[in-house]
């Protein structure tokens, strides 16, 4: 139950990132929130599984405007390390429907997980990668494309 609460907290509040959370929640996880275990620095929470990392990454790309799902308001969107648009209001339109909503695959990556998504217009060699620490914290979209051939566990093809 605690593990499920931590994953749910990561998806809804993204304690370490502050970008994926329901409307009305504070921008940073508060130790006083009863529905969410106290925020922890990476490595202090229990590691999540690969399938849990996939679910977290799929929710992340949907809420951050990369699919056809309704994105968060512009001020709550997660920034990539390199953005190619002038304002936050331009983020969601520039990302809209660029990725398939289901993960292509996943695998271990440094201290955590990498989850790779196919472009909406499939590329046989590359996709986009979401990375996170092993406990699901510090989730982010990498600015460089990921090689599909390097994915450890494939879940589907890009043509599905």
Encoded tokens for 100: 């398939």
Which of 10-14, 20-24, 131-135 has the least mean pLDDT? 20-24
Give backbone dihedrals phi and psi of 100, rounded to 5 degrees, phi first: -70, 140
Distance in angstroms (rounded) separating the CA atoms of residues 102 and 109: 19
What is the value of pTM for the model shown? 0.74
Across all residues in the chain, what is the average pLDDT? Answer: 80
Q: Tell me the per-residue pLDDT of 18-74, one tens digit each, with 9 for 90 and over.
A: 444 333 434 334 333 334 444 556 556 899 999 999 999 999 999 999 999 999 999
Encoded tokens for 159: 């043509």
What is the mean pLDDT of the segment spanning 78-97? 92
Give backbone dihedrals phi and psi of 78, rounded to 5 degrees, phi first: -75, 135
Q: Give domain limits for the chain.
A: 45-154
């Amino acid at each position: 139950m605690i593990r499920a609460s931590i994953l749910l907290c990561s998806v809804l509040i993204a304690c370490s990132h502050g970008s994926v959370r329901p409307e009305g929640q504070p921008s940073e996880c508060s130790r006083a929130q009863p529905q969410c275990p106290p925020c922890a620095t990476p490595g202090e929470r229990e590691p999540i599984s690969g399938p849990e990392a996939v679910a977290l990454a799929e929710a992340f790309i949907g809420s951050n405007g990369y699919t056809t799902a309704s994105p968060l308001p512009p001020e709550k969107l997660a920034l990539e390390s390199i953005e190619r648009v002038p304002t936050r209001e331009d983020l969601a339109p520039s990302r809209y429907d660029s990725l398939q909503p289901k993960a292509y695959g996943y695998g271990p990556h440094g201290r955590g997980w990498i989850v790779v998504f196919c472009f909406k217009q499939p590329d046989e060699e590359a996709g986009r990668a979401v990375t996170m620490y092993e406990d699901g914290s510090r989730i982010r979209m990498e600015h460089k494309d990921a090689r599909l051939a390097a994915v450890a566990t494939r879940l589907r093809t890009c043509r599905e």
